[in-house]
């Protein structure tokens, strides 16, 4: 239903197989036809299955590193190995994220006494990807 409309970059791409840089918009990549995958319910399910399979495979490969990190956290400080945090996902659904604990147990409830006080435990400083926000 309706008449298909093609803009100038699409015409260039169809006719010559390339697009002049001067005609490329900032939203071109995100709105290009290659991202139609997410509009078909069947393909969304296929993508989800592929995401899960890839994640499981990578988790198996990373298992030795995960075990080493868990042992390091357990040996160097008291408290749980994992930290639970609530997040909001797609369609506003809440879910729980489990992360390695990089701070001393209960640090989110404590107030530091001194500015120089470090809340990260010994192995936590190694596990932090970046400086924690204050």
Report mean pLDDT in 10-residue bins for the chain, 134 residues. 77 81 72 63 87 96 93 86 87 89 69 50 52 52
DSSP 85: E
Host domain of residue 61: 40-134
In whole angstroms, how large is the CA radius of gyration of the chain?
24
Asked if 76 and 122 touch (Cβ cutoff 8 Å), the reply is: yes
Residues 67 and 113 in one domain: yes
Count of domains for the chain: 2
Would you call 87 helix, strand, or coil by DSSP?
A: strand
Residues 126 and 74 in one domain: yes
Q: What is the pLDDT of residue 106?
A: 66
Residues 46 and 34 in one domain: no
Distances (CA, A) of 105 to 6, 13, 14, 37, 111: 58, 57, 59, 43, 13
The count of other CB atoms within 10 Å of the CB of residue 105 is: 14
Residues 83 and 119 in one domain: yes
Q: What is the pLDDT of residue 108?
A: 64
Q: What is the pLDDT of residue 28?
A: 65
Residues 71 and 112 in one domain: yes
Cα 59 to chain centroid, rounded:
14
User: Which residues have C-beta within 8 Å of that of residue 72, sequence separation ≥ 6?
Assistant: 123, 126
Q: What is the pLDDT of residue 125?
A: 54
Residues 14 and 46 in one domain: no
Residues 11 and 46 in one domain: no
| Residues listed for the chain | 134
């Amino acid at each position: 239903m309706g008449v298909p409309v093609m803009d100038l970059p699409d015409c260039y791409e169809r006719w010559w197989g390339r697009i002049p840089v001067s005609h490329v918009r900032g939203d071109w990549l995100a709105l290009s036809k290659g991202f139609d995958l997410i509009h078909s319910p069947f393909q969304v399910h296929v993508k989800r299955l592929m995401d899960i399979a890839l994640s499981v495979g990578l988790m198996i490969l990373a298992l030795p590193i995960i075990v080493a990190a868990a042992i390091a956290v357990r040996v160097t400080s008291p408290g749980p190995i994992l930290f639970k945090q609530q997040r909001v996902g797609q369609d506003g659904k809440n879910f729980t994220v489990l992360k390695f604990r990089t701070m001393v147990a209960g640090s989110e409830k404590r107030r530091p006494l001194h500015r120089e006080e470090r809340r990260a435990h010994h192995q936590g400083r190694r596990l932090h990807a970046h400086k924690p926000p204050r």
